[in-house]
Amino acid sequence: MLKVFALLTLLASTAVQAQTTLQSDLPLKYLEQVHPDAEPRPLVIFLHGYGSNEADLIGMKFQLPAQYNYLSVQAPLSLGEDRYQWFRKKGEGAYNGETDDLQASGQKLRDFIAQAAKKYHAAPDKVYLIGFSQGAMMTYEVGLRAPVAVGGIAALSGRVLPVLKNELKAERQPLPLHIFIGHGTADDRVPYHDGTAANDLLQKLDYKPEFHAYPGIGHSISAAELRDLNGWLQQLNP
């Protein structure tokens, strides 16, 4: 299983495990780190990468705005041994996804987002997806399709999959969406070019993504990226 949080302390990870229980009342299983009150708050939903699980990203919340609520979702397709994926890879070469998997997982995620927003009293435009690797690909898959499901997406070490890219080329107005893209220049799993290509595509479609390159960083999330992500979320809700 890919772990992306060598930078987070073991104490923080232990604290998360002690405070969270896998929830199953929504269309996808998830962990929650939320405030006990019912006040309307921004809601962040973490989407893990291939072969990982819902516990992999939840520790990020300690580096992000304290006033937010946080959920971390388990992808629907099991690989066994507590490992999961959002979609199966299609063929060899570039990381493309099986269309049926993308449609099924995308719909489950949309249903999850809508129900989670109601449960945690968050307006749809105050819900933000943060995904790593395959989870980042799902943020694009869900965030860039109408109708609008979320207020913003953060794609960390991901790419826009070909099936979506082809559809986005059609002329249409951009969705009201805040976008953060982060990618390490030394990524050997999802190449840095995939991040810049996503940024270029979205710029051409009149989106205004906030793009961050991380020199020398491989397929992981750095401390600098977490600081930038925290700043992005703070700007959205000062």
DSSP letter, residue 97: B
How does DSSP assign 53-88, residue by residue? -TTTTGGGGGGS-TTSEEEEEPPSEEEETTEEESS-
Active site residue 133: yes
Note if 25 is an active site residue: no
Residue 13 among the catalytic residues: no
* Active-site residue identified among 52, 183, 187, 194: 187
Q: Are strands 69-73 and 30-33 parallel, antiparallel or unpaired?
A: antiparallel
Q: How far apart are CA 214 and CA 98, in angstroms?
A: 30
The one catalytic residue in 133, 157, 220, 222 is 133
Give all strands of the β-sheet with 43-47 in edge-to-edge order: 30-33, 69-73, 43-47, 127-132, 152-156, 178-184, 210-214
Which listed residue (52, 219, 220, 222) is catalytic? 219
| Unique residue bearing structure tokens 């388990």 | 74
Angle 186-97-211 (CA atoms, 0-180°, nearest 5)?
Answer: 40
Bridge pairing between strands 127-132 and 43-47 = parallel
Asked if 43 contacts 115 with a C-beta cutoff of 8 angstroms, the reply is no
Alpha helix segments (H runs only) across the chain: 10-19, 99-119, 134-143, 162-168, 192-204, 223-236
The catalytic residues are 133, 187, 219
